[in-house]
Amino acid sequence: MADTDVEFPILCETCLGENPYVRMTREVQGSECKVCTRAFTVFRWQPGRAMRHKKTEICAPCARLKNVCQTCVLDLEHNLPVQVRDSVLGVANEVPTQPTNRRDYLAKAAQSGTAISDVTSAGAREQLKRMARTDPYYKRNRAHVCSFFVKGQCTRGATCPYRHEMPDGSPELARQNISDRYHGANDPVARRMLARAEKSTDRLTPPDDKSITSLFAVRLDPSLTQDLLSEHFAMYGELKSVVVVEKSSCAFVNFKTRSGAEAAALAARDGCVVNGLSVRLAWGRPRPKGPNDPKDPVTSQSTDKHGLYPSQDPTAHGSVKHQ
């Protein structure tokens, strides 16, 4: 289908706005696509009251090729940057960056219906689900910050269509490029999200304390029972016990051996799925040392015949022994 025949843009729920009766203007060949530089049909609308007017930035064929929104260029399924999605799925960017080659590639792909490669890795899909934003983020549609207000020179006051507040984000995030975001390169938002995801995997790094043989599961679905968890984790090693705390939606999976716990943690790095539901795992923590802990250097000291610790002996503090 030619771009001039498009009757409605390819948009995510956030860019479309929460108003179901949104009104749009349609301009055939109204602008140049930020990716393929071809003229395309431009749509303009206001996603809600006190929101800024938005418009499509890339053409429909380019959006279908990458399965992204025509305005924010985020993945339509997971609402994530292309760079994050492709990095997790291991998909290489095959779209040429040179204008001439890129136009030819996109034209052939649009005719053949080629889309992003299907990936069957369950672990990668689960990782995307954990990183995805499930609810629309309508704050993204707010008006931009008034640059004159930042400089202290805005004289419009309450009639100014821009926000009168100081920017609190990183300056790097304000310098985003539509083409780079589409190709999944040099995207500051994606870099920040990938760095955050890399840190979250540290919770599955085996602790130095070899006595820890337990895994902690959080955000459990109520349908995941003790029997289902036991059946799943028993494949990695012999279990000592599985304790489900329904009130806190968590569970403790206790293995008899350290090797079994490490095998389960290693398998969960790409995502843990139990009975079709995602489970978030972390290593358990060592138990706090009690007064009878033989490993405690203080409590393990021997007492005298009266049952006193050395620190309780009055003669050990320079006191004079009474006759």
Residue-wise pLDDT tens digits, 217-228 = 888 888 888 999
**What secondary structure letter does DSSP report for 254?**
E
> Quick one: tokens of 211?
């006595």
Task: Compute the distance between CA of residue 61 and CA of residue 2 in angstroms, rounded to an integer.
Answer: 8
Task: Answer yes or no: are the C-beta atoms of 64 and 58 closer than 8 Å.
Answer: no
Q: Given pLDDT bands bounded at 50, 70 and 90, which one contains residue 297?
A: very low
Q: Given pLDDT bands bounded at 50, 70 and 90, which one contains residue 25?
A: very high
Kindly tell me the burial class for residue 70, based on how many C-beta atoms sit within 10 Å of its own C-beta (0-12, 13-18, 19 or more).
buried
Q: Given pLDDT bands bounded at 50, 70 and 90, which one contains residue 305?
A: very low
Between 38-42, 91-95, 220-224, 260-264, the lowest mean confidence (pLDDT) is in: 91-95
Q: How much is the average pLDDT of 1-7?
A: 69
Q: If you search the block for the tokens 């008006």, which residue do you land on?
A: 143
> Quick one: tokens of 243?
């304790």
Does residue 105 surpass a pLDDT of 90? no
Question: Which position has the higher pLDDT, 99 or 231?
Answer: 231
pLDDT at 266: 84
> Quick one: tokens of 44?
């303009």
How distant, in Å, are the alpha carbons of 7, 40, 102, 201 from that of 58? 15, 8, 14, 35
Does residue 167 surpass a pLDDT of 70? yes
Does residue 58 surpass a pLDDT of 60? yes
Q: How much is the average pLDDT of 3-24?
A: 86
Between 39-43, 71-75, 249-253, 319-323, the lowest mean confidence (pLDDT) is in: 319-323
In the chain, the percentage of residues whose pLDDT exceeds 90 is 24
Q: Helix H segments across 113-207? A: 122-131, 147-151, 178-183, 188-200
pLDDT at 100: 65
Name, of 149-158, 184-193, 205-214, 269-278, the range with top average pLDDT: 149-158
pLDDT at 307: 47
Task: Compute the distance between CA of residue 88 and CA of residue 66 in angstroms, rounded to an integer.
Answer: 15
Task: Compute the distance between CA of residue 162 and CA of residue 148 in angstroms, rounded to an integer.
Answer: 10
pLDDT at 267: 82
pTM (whole model) above 0.85? no
The per-residue pLDDT of the chain, averaged, comes to: 79
Q: Given pLDDT bands bounded at 50, 70 and 90, which one contains residue 186?
A: confident
